[in-house]
Structures are given as structure tokens and as C-alpha cells.
Amino acid sequence: MTYIFYFAMFLMMVGVTLAAIRFVKGPTAGDRSVALDTLTTILVAALVLLAYIFDRYIYLDVALVYGVLGFIGVIVLARYLEGAL
Amino acid sequence: MSLVFEIIGAVLILIGGAFLLLGGLGIYRMPDVYNRLQAGTKATTLGGMSLILGVGFLKVEDDWTWMVKAMILVIFIAFSNPISSHALARAMYKRKRYPLIKNDDGNMDAYKEVETNEKKEEKK
């Protein structure tokens, strides 16, 4: 049973690595913003899985706050790229 | 009954992990901003919702408050992910970075027709 969690965590970390490579390489600011958005969603899911593995209820709140802050950050970045700020 | 919930939770967690990997791979492989938005947002929305629901199902007999918090997270992801991807696509269109895919007459850009029609209606 525990190996399932480790395997899912390994898959997610491969995804995080690929998105982080795009975040560093990405030719324009838009590519970097898209990579940041994807990284936020994958890491929220990873935090929820860590909350189950370590059996800590408080990590779910951490995941929720991290998701809200990442969402607001991406919205502000998009408005700035649009030229509205 | 507890075994049923464990199997459902484990299967949902595996599906979620696989789709999150596909989201990262799409971000890395696709050629264009709009293709990257498509791959990244759709795959990670399904993967994240499935994985969080799986964790909720695993704990549903121990402690039902985990399921409530997991549902809050799922609803938040279902709201926030399309909004942020729409804002990013709109921003990139306003910066005049048009899609790379070509069709018979130049770049494939269906939104341009909508925009010109709206301008014509405003003039009337």
C-alpha cells in the first residue's frame, strides 16, 4: 500500500522537474507564467499527498493557502503582461 | 467496507499521479504558448482533483473532516485553474503572440474574426 504513494510521488516529481525546466528555459515571459501555473497545481496535489503520508491534518490548510496565493500571483502576472497594470 | 474505500482511493491516487506527470510533460514538449496552456491546464486539473479526492476517500472512515477539506480543495481547483489559464491566454493574445499552427491562409486564428465582427457592430 505504501509503495503506491511513493510511486505517485515519483510521477509527480518527474512532472515538477519537466515543468521547472520549462520555467528556466522558456523563451518568453508567457511560457514562464504557464509553467508557474502548472507547478502550483502539481505542488498543491503533492502537499495533500504528503498530508496523508505524514498523517498531519494541518498540511491541508497549507495546501489551500498555497493554492490561493499561486492563483492570485498568476492573475496579477497575466494582468501585467496584458499591459493593464 | 474499508477495503472498498482503500481500493477506490489507491486507484484515484494512481490516476492523479499519471495525469500530473502528463501535465508536466506537455508543458515541456509542446511548441507554443497556447498548446502549453491546453496541455498543462487540462491535465493538471483532472490529475489534481482525482488525487485530492483519492486522499479524501482513504481517510473517510477514520476522520470525515479530511473529506470536507478535500472537497473544498477540489472546488477551489475547479474554479481557479480555468480562470488563470483564460487570463494568461488573453494576455498573450493582447501582446500579439499569435498561434504557430498554419492553415491555408496564414496563421490559424479564429478569434480574429470574432474581434473584427465586434468592431463592425460597434461602428453601427
Domain ranges, ordered by start, for chain A: 2-82
Residue B111 has pLDDT above 90, yes or no: no
Closest Cβ–Cβ partner in B44, B52, B84 for A48? B52
Mean pLDDT of B91-99: 82
Instruction: Flag whether residue B87 sits within 8 Å of chain A, measured between CB atoms.
Output: yes
Instruction: Flag whether residue B62 sits within 8 Å of chain A, measured between CB atoms.
Output: no
What is the per-residue pLDDT for B96?
77
Nearest to B35 by CA among A7, A21, A38: A38
**DSSP string over A60-75:** HHHHHHHHHHHHHHHH
Type of residue numbered B45: T
pLDDT in tens, A22-38: 999 978 888 999 999 99
pLDDT in tens, A44-82: 999 999 999 999 999 999 999 999 999 999 999 999 988
What is the distance between the alpha carbons of residues A5 and A20, in angstroms, rounded to a whole number?
A: 22
Which residues on A lie below 8 Å from B85 (Cβ)? Answer: 34, 37
What ipTM was estimated for this complex? Answer: 0.91
pLDDT in tens, B45-64: 999 999 999 999 998 888 88
Q: Report the half-sphere exposure of B77 (CA within 13 A, side-chain side).
A: 30
Closest Cβ–Cβ partner in B20, B51, B94 for A83? B94
All structural domains of chain B with their residue ranges: 2-123
Cβ-based neighbour number of residue A78 at 10 Å: 25
Higher pLDDT residue, B97 or B31?
B31
**Are A46 and B59 in contact, with CB atoms under 8 Å apart?**
no
What is the per-residue pLDDT for B106?
67
In terms of DSSP bridges, do strands B106-107 and B102-103 run parallel, antiparallel, or are they unpaired? antiparallel
